[in-house]
Amino acid sequence: AQTVTQSQPEMSVQEAETVTLSCTYDTSENNYYLFWYKQPPSRQMILVIRQEAYKQQNATENRFSVNFQKAAKSFSLKISDSQLGDTAMYFCAFTNYGGSQGNLIFGKGTKLSVKP
Amino acid sequence: EAGVAQSPRYKIIEKRQSVAFWCNPISGHATLYWYQQILGQGPKLLIQFQNNGVVDDSQLPKDRFSAERLKGVDSTLKIQPAKLEDSAVYLCASSPGLPQTQYFGPGTRLLVL
């Protein structure tokens, strides 16, 4: 079975500092996508960043970057220059590439608090 | 571009009652998903539609949950009768195809008393 594990239930960081959220996953597939989604309190889930497994280069989106280690099945998210608006639940998610099913398998999430 | 719309945003019902949720995906998105998110957990897929056909409903409790996607656009998710453990946020998501990024709606927060 495919699983996603986020080992840090809660984290906090000071504004303007850098924080890294961890994620590991388990799959026997070779082609897949990995995502980080952000869910602010009482607000909807939005995509932060996406990584295709066949790409060796780590994805970056402004202050957000990932460290994708395919052999170790690790996919961490680094947030640089943290802002108060980054306070949210962060979910790591996985989906297979190909086939007819594209559902996301989510981890349990990491609650990030950015402190002023 | 309008996002995924869901209604109602909140619903409180008593156990054994029925409830229905509505979702309107992003225009042109062929794939629609319903997820259940219990407090403190990540979302879990209930059902996936490709156009108006069901692709995956293996985790849908079919004795009480049903879903349909009319004309391959809007979708409704129904629970009848509701149980206490159905209290959760029900998220609708859509994507242009497979595998693509999924875009989520604001969710419907259900409380079963």
Structure confidence by residue, pLDDT tens digits, A27-80: 888 889 999 999 998 778 999 999 999 888 999 999 999 999 999 999 999 999
Q: Which of A45, A90, A109 is nearest to B105 (CA)?
A: A45
Is the Cβ pair A95, B105 closer than 8 Å?
no
Q: For position B72, what pLDDT does the model report?
A: 82
Our CA-based measurement puts residue A80 at a distance from the nearest CA of chain B, in whole angstroms, of 23
Instruction: Tokens for A68, please give them.
Output: 């994708």
* Chain A nearest CA to B75, separation (Å): 17
Alpha-carbon gap, residue B102 to A104, rounded angstroms: 8
CA A91 to the chain's CA centroid:
6
Average pLDDT, chain A: 92
Where does the pLDDT of residue A98 fall: very low under 50, low under 70, confident under 90, or very high at 90 and above?
low
Q: Give, for all 113 residues of chain B, the pLDDT tens digit.
A: 689 999 999 999 999 999 999 999 999 998 999 999 998 889 999 999 988 899 889 999 999 999 999 888 999 999 999 999 999 999 999 998 766 789 999 999 999 99
B106: chain A residues, CB-CB within 8 Å? 43-44
Please give the pLDDT value at position A48.
Answer: 96
Chain A CB contacts of B50 under 8 Å are 100
- Best mutation site among B4, B50, B101, B108 for testing chain A: the one with the most A CBs within 10 Å? B101
A62 touches chain B (CB under 8 A): no
A45 residue type, one letter: M
Share of chain A above pLDDT 70, in %: 97
Report the pLDDT value the prediction gives residue B98, as an integer from 0 to 100: 66
The pLDDT, as a whole number, for residue A29 is 84
All residues of chain A having their beta carbon less than 8 Å from the beta carbon of residue B38 are none
Give, in degrees to the nearest 5, the angle at Cα A40 between B22 and A89: 105
